[in-house]
Amino acid sequence: MTATQAPEAAVRSADEAVFSVRNLWKVFGPKADRVPGGEHAALPPAELREATGCTAAVRDVSFDVRKGEVFVVMGLSGSGKSTLVRCLTRLIEPTSGTLAIDGEDVLAMDRSRLRELRRHRAAMVFQHFGLLPHRTVVDNVAYGLEIQGLSKSERRAKAAELVAKVGLAGMEDRRPSQLSGGQQQRVGLARALAVDPSVLLFDEPFSALDPLIRREMQDEVVRLHREEGRTMVFITHDLSEALRLGTRIALMRDGGIVQLGTPEEIVGSPADDYVREFVRDVPREQVLTVATAMRPALAGESERGPAVRPDATVAEAIEAVSRSGDPAARVMDAGRLVGVVDRACLLDVVAGTAEPAVTAPAPDAPDGPREVTA
Ligand SMILES: Nc1ncnc2c1ncn2[C@@H]1O[C@H](COP(=O)(O)OP(=O)(O)OP(=O)(O)O)[C@@H](O)[C@H]1O
């Protein structure tokens, strides 16, 4: 498919999707464009390299990034995360496939439209903050506004507001070298927010930070997301970070997406042995919800036991049951009894012996990654 053809599927789902990606490939190496759809397309990485000298960094990937979600791209080193996310704004040119932002074909954009895309619509936050060393905090944040053509006073006022939003009030006049790593990353975040992008792209932004600061920055992202509902694409190789931040997680391996789902779907219903191994050590009771563990209420059970919401975690239900001394908790949704979790249901989740009733949302991409079904 050529770059100028309208991505039909992408346009169709544009109402709710910020990015729509279909059958995207990025192949590095000689005659790379012959690999997608060619006789060697399905070969494992080492054999593909042997046969063609090429690496398929992104391999036939399809997904939508929905408006307002934190879409996490997770995978081990070399699985293709950075290449995939750089393809979204064509910092890396895809080899084939279709790609749209808000329904507009990204592959058909000319240079000035692409510049506009990267500056205003999809702002990137990198691991190495890329701050200008001789500018103050507030001027670094205002920089993004300068290229937008706002007046100086407008820029400074907006930048100061954003500096406060990311928790750096009082540090406006410092230079980057006078800040800790976490503080510098906050400046990077404020600068990305300054252009009010439709989507923020994070490339492992916190992996150089020490664990405490990293946790603080994750909380910051959760807070910003909750307050603003901004769409985010977040690359990480850290599973706990993915589970904390992700509305949905795309788990990559060898350039492909092996599973795309909510944290609960990934942990509760791994698509294959690779994913199962990946999530093996996750404390399931902290990710799985009561809705997946409950059973129908028996006669007489509607009166007794603490009430929990369907989206409470199993860990929270365990605490409620254990505090109350009752044999089970009632799962209440808007005042209605929808089920019961007894001690056996709860223990099954902890032990990994439960068959979770995780239901998948309607799949984005018919030919895309496998979504979890009940
Ligand atoms: N410019 C390039 N030329 C050739 N191969 C490349 C190039 N860039 C990336 N690759 C290969 O593509 C694959 C995916 O790389 P990518 O950097 O996207 O992975 P990643 O998951 O982001 O890894 P990391 O977590 O280490 O950053 C790797 O096998 C890598 O060696």
Q: Which domain holds residue 301?
A: 289-351
Q: Identify whether residues 334 and 198 lie together within a single domain.
A: no
Which residue's entry shows tokens 């997608």?
36
**Residue 355, pLDDT score:** 62
- With the most atoms of ligand 1 within 8 angstroms of its CB, the residue from 25, 35, 55 to mutate is 55
- Regarding pTM above 0.90, the answer is no
For atom 30 of ligand 1, the residue with the nearest CA is 78
Instruction: Specify the 3-state DSSP secondary structure of 66.
Output: strand
Q: pLDDT-based confidence at 369, cuts 50/70/90?
A: very low
CATH number, domain containing residue 151: 3.40.50.300
Q: Identify whether residues 77 and 210 lie together within a single domain.
A: yes
How confident is the model over 26-83, as pLDDT tens digits? 999 999 999 999 999 999 999 999 999 999 999 999 999 999 999 999 999 999 999 9
Number of domains in the chain: 2
How confident is the model over 88-147, as pLDDT tens digits? 999 999 999 999 999 999 999 999 999 999 988 998 887 766 789 999 999 999 987 877
Classify the complex by whether its ipTM is higher than 0.85, answering yes or no.
Answer: yes
Residue 30 beta carbon below 6 angstroms from any ligand 1 atom: no
Q: Identify whether residues 256 and 307 lie together within a single domain.
A: no
Query: Region 290-309: what's the mean pLDDT?
Result: 90
Query: Region 234-243: what's the mean pLDDT?
Result: 92
C-alpha closest to that of 68 among 327, 247, 322: 247
Q: Identify whether residues 229 and 318 lie together within a single domain.
A: no
Residue 10 has pLDDT above 50, yes or no: no
**323 belongs to a structural domain:** yes
CATH number, domain containing residue 319: 3.10.580.10
**182 belongs to a structural domain:** yes
Residue 55 beta carbon below 6 angstroms from any ligand 1 atom: yes
For atom 10 of ligand 1, the residue with the nearest CA is 57
Residue 174 beta carbon below 6 angstroms from any ligand 1 atom: no
Which 8-state DSSP code applies to residue 360?
P
Average confidence score pLDDT of the chain: 87
Distance 69 CA to ligand 1 centre (A): 25
Residue 80 beta carbon below 6 angstroms from any ligand 1 atom: yes
82-86-89 Cα angle (round to 5): 160
Q: Identify whether residues 252 and 331 lie together within a single domain.
A: no
Round to whole Å and give the CA distance between 269 and 119: 39
Residue 362 has pLDDT above 50, yes or no: no
